[in-house]
Amino acid sequence: MLGNLSVFLFFLAWEVLPRYGVLDEAIIPSFSSVVQKLYVLAVQGELLNHIAISLQRAGIGFLLASAVGIPTGFLLAGKFPTLEKMLLPLLRLMEKINPFALFPVFILLLGIGEVSKISLIFWVCQFPIIFNTIMGQKAIDPLLIKTGRSMGASNIALFFKVILPAALPSIFNGLKFGAQLAFIMVISAEMLGSSSGMGWMARNAQETYKITQLFGATMCIAILGLIINKVFRMIEGRMLLWREDAFEGNQN
Amino acid sequence: MLKRLYQLNNKLLPYYFIILFFGLWQVAPTIGWANPKFIPPLSQVLETGWKLILNGDMFVHISVSLERVFIGLFIAIVIGLPLGFILGGWLPGVAKFLQPLMNLCAQINTMTLLPLFIILFGVGEGGKYSVIFWASFWPILFTTLEGVRQVDPLLIKCARSMGVNGFTIFFKVILPGAALQIFTGIRIGTTMAFMLLIAAEFLGANMGLGWLIRNSEDNWQIPRLFLGLFSIALVGMIINYSLEWLEKNLITWRDTTPGITN
């Protein structure tokens, strides 16, 4: 626990310095007052509402991206390799386009509602998921596939018992990245053009100078982000544990 | 003859879809597949761009945006690089102590902090510089730290045994050893900085590429909007390629290609 001492000291400073006037309390409220404000907002129901809205948008976008991205990745890497060689540079180019700059185009084409935000998240998550799925498929030891085929496995069995499990670590890496991106984009999109959600809450607090609420919303968003990261890393850790024993030959 | 054609085809293969994409962008709105009011043809976008270049607006926006990125990046480098060296080389204990806090700070996405920084550092340039600084600082700090840490201690001991003083060790052993990592960090930092720049300009600015898009959206000037998008992508790519070129030409002592490129 000594490792976390610096973090603890940081929060301690956050609590003490504003209280004793070293930091202006109007600009940087003490940690306890921020937590208090969050509690009040939570009890009023507002906080949980916004959290739910944000998570919902991110979740839908992310799930859609996975549902489309993973099969697409497999199809491109497995069935249509020439198409993959041709399409990939274009995809890499599109990945580099700043999503924040792209957002107005989405609003233009799809309106100001939920669809544009979810589409943006869908767009941004596609790239890591597709690229990592392709990478995962390509990295499979061809010996495994040949072995499976020589044992008379059908294509479907081959896919579900050999290809999918072997590519899973890489796919999951893409999913992890995608989830983080989804969360970042939902908050950003809400800051830039929305009237609900955690991102909006933070922006609104900034515009109306509700400092404590601003700190609270920001802290909340940060915590949510950390939780999402942690959850995915935990799942990954569990997955990698039983993966290690099953597939010695796979360099993942 | 046929063989030459095949070779040419293989070389051009990656570019077909890109060309197709731009071709589609031009043709679809013109024929009416896509509503030209929502998706103007490529030629119209380029035309608007040319107009803006001629009346000097383009130059203003690009230079304002680049200035913001570079100032924030510069501060991040000026603080991050020495800090990384000191923490990595001289004070590893302090580095270990601060690691959890630094990890925490770096993990929090910078966009989240944007409204906070605007309040703390002002709606004007202060807020933007601070956000760009924060976004680029952490990759630079971490990679510098890591770069210093992974310098082969044998090399340092070798130099010491030859009676070389501290400064020379730094410039001739540590700096070159960590250079690759540091450059990667600067590249990542620049990418993050540029991303955050656009977002920051969206929220509050009256000039710059991000503002160009926002303003075009507000005034329903669609070709200008796409132009802004196009320019941002172009500028971003130029910056990235420049950095890669710089890296290739400055780090001449690396003889193996790294496996981790993107």
Query: Which range is least confidently modeled, B104-108, B123-127, B240-244?
Result: B123-127
CATH tag, A29-246: 1.10.3720.10
Three-state secondary-structure class, residue B33: coil
Reported as a pLDDT band with limits 50, 70 and 90, residue B257 is: very low
Domain boundaries, chain A: 29-246
User: At the fourth CATH level, which superfamily is domain B44-250?
Assistant: MetI-like (1.10.3720.10)
* Chain A CB within 8 Å of residue B118 CB: yes
The verdict on a CB contact (< 8 Å) between A88 and B14 is yes
Chain A contacts in chain B segment 90-109 (CB below 8 A): 96-101, 104, 107-109
Give me chain B's average pLDDT, please: 83
Mean pLDDT of A221-242: 85
Phi and psi (nearest 5°) for A191?
Answer: -70, -35
The verdict on a CB contact (< 8 Å) between B119 and A188 is no
Three-state secondary-structure class, residue A219: helix
Mean pLDDT of B207-233: 85
- pLDDT tens per residue, range A180-194: 999 999 999 998 878
Reported as a pLDDT band with limits 50, 70 and 90, residue B255 is: low
Reported as a pLDDT band with limits 50, 70 and 90, residue A243 is: low
Give dist(CA A193, CA B158) in Å, integer. Answer: 59
Reported as a pLDDT band with limits 50, 70 and 90, residue A41 is: confident
Number of H helices, E strands in chain B: 11, 0
The verdict on a CB contact (< 8 Å) between A7 and B104 is yes
Nearest residue of A to residue B93, measured between CA atoms: A3
- pLDDT tens per residue, range B30-42: 887 777 778 888 8
Nearest residue of B to residue A210, measured between CA atoms: B119
- pLDDT tens per residue, range A122-144: 999 999 999 999 988 888 888 88
Please tell me the predicted confidence (pLDDT) of residue A82: 82
Give dist(CA B144, CA B87) in Å, integer. Answer: 9
Give dist(CA A168, CA A88) in Å, integer. Answer: 21
Name the pTM for this structure.
Answer: 0.84
Mean pLDDT of A39-43: 84
The answer to whether ipTM exceeds 0.85 is no
Which carries the bigger pLDDT value, residue A148 or residue A244? A148
| Distance (Å) from the alpha carbon of A103 to chain B's nearest alpha carbon | 10
The verdict on a CB contact (< 8 Å) between A105 and B229 is yes
The verdict on a CB contact (< 8 Å) between B229 and A102 is yes
Give dist(CA B234, CA A97) in Å, integer. Answer: 9
Q: For an interface test with B, which of A23, A100, A231 has the most B Cβ atoms less than 10 Å from its Cβ?
A: A100
The verdict on a CB contact (< 8 Å) between A225 and B16 is no
Tell me how many degrees the CA angle B5-B9-B10 measures, rounded to the nearest 5.
120
Tell me how many degrees the CA angle A183-A136-B135 measures, rounded to the nearest 5.
35
Chain B contacts in chain A segment 166-185 (CB below 8 A): 183-184
How many beta-carbon contacts under 8 Å exist across A and B?
125
| Full 3-state SS string of A74-142 | HHHHHHCHHHHHHHHHHHHHHHHCCHHHHHHHHHHHHCCCHHHHHHHHHHHHHHHHHHHHHHHHHCCCH
The verdict on a CB contact (< 8 Å) between B100 and A6 is yes
Chain B contacts in chain A segment 13-32 (CB below 8 A): 27-28
Pull the structure tokens for residue A103.
Answer: 């957002």
- pLDDT tens per residue, range A13-25: 888 888 887 777 7
